[in-house]
Structure 1
Amino acid sequence: MLGVSHALSGAALGLAVAGFGSWLVEVPATAGSVLTFSAVCAGAALLPDLDHPSSTVTRRFSWASMVASRVVRPLSALLYRATRASRDTGRGTHRGLTHTALCAVLIGVLVNLASARWGTPVLVGTLFVCLALAIKGLDALVPGPPSLVIAAGLTYAVEVWVPGGTAGTAGWLGAAVTLGMLVHAVGDAVTESGAPLLWPLTIRRRRWYPVGTPRPLRFRAGGRVETMLVAPALTVGVLVLVVLVVPGVLPLVLRIGAHVGQLLPH
Structure 2
Amino acid sequence: MMWRSHLVMGLGAGYLVSGFDPVLLAAAGLGSLLPDLDHPNSWIGSRIPILPTIARGVLGHRGALHSLAATLALGGIIGLLWGREIGLAMAAGYLAHLAGDMLTLSGVPLLWPLPVMVRIPLVKTGGLLERFVVFPALTLGLVYWAVLPEVSGYVGRVMAWLT
Task: Using structure 1 for the length normalisation, give the TM-score.
Answer: 0.54
- The 2-side partners of 1:108 and 1:66 are apart by 24
Is the CA contact 1:16–1:241 (under 8 Å) kept in the aligned structure 2? Answer: no
Equivalent residue, structure 2, for 1:99: 66
**Residue-by-residue CA offset, 1:192-225 (whole Å, 9 max, x unaligned):** 111101112xxxxxx2221011x5xx22111121
SS in 2 for 1:104: helix
Is the CA contact 2:63–2:112 (under 8 Å) kept in the aligned structure 1? Answer: no
- The 1-side partners of 2:18 and 2:52 are apart by 30
2:72 maps to a residue whose letter is V
Residue 250 (str. 1) matches residue 151 (str. 2): yes
Is the CA contact 1:10–1:183 (under 8 Å) kept in the aligned structure 2? Answer: yes
Runs of 4+ in 1 over 6 A off after TM superposition: none
1:52 maps to a residue whose letter is H
1:113 maps to which of 80, 101, 106: 80
Shift, 1:226, TM fit: 1.0
Gaps of 5+ in 1: 20-30, 77-92, 116-169, 201-206, 259-266
Indicate the structure whose relative CO is greater, using CA pairs within 8 Å and at least 6 residues apart: 1
1:9 maps to a residue whose letter is M
Residue 71 (str. 1) matches residue 58 (str. 2): no
Q: Report the structure number with the largest CA radius of gyration.
A: 1
Equivalent residue, structure 2, for 1:40: 27
1:50 maps to which of 14, 28, 37: 37
Is the CA contact 2:33–2:94 (under 8 Å) kept in the aligned structure 1? Answer: yes
The alignment yields a C-alpha RMSD, in angstroms, of: 2.3
SS in 2 for 1:46: helix
Equivalent residue, structure 2, for 1:126: none
Is the CA contact 1:100–1:197 (under 8 Å) kept in the aligned structure 2? Answer: yes
2:50 maps to a residue whose letter is V
1:254 maps to a residue whose letter is V
Aligned residues: 158
- The 1-side partners of 2:12 and 2:75 are apart by 18
2:89 maps to which of 142, 157, 176: 176
Shift, 1:253, TM fit: 6.0
Gaps of 5+ in 2: none
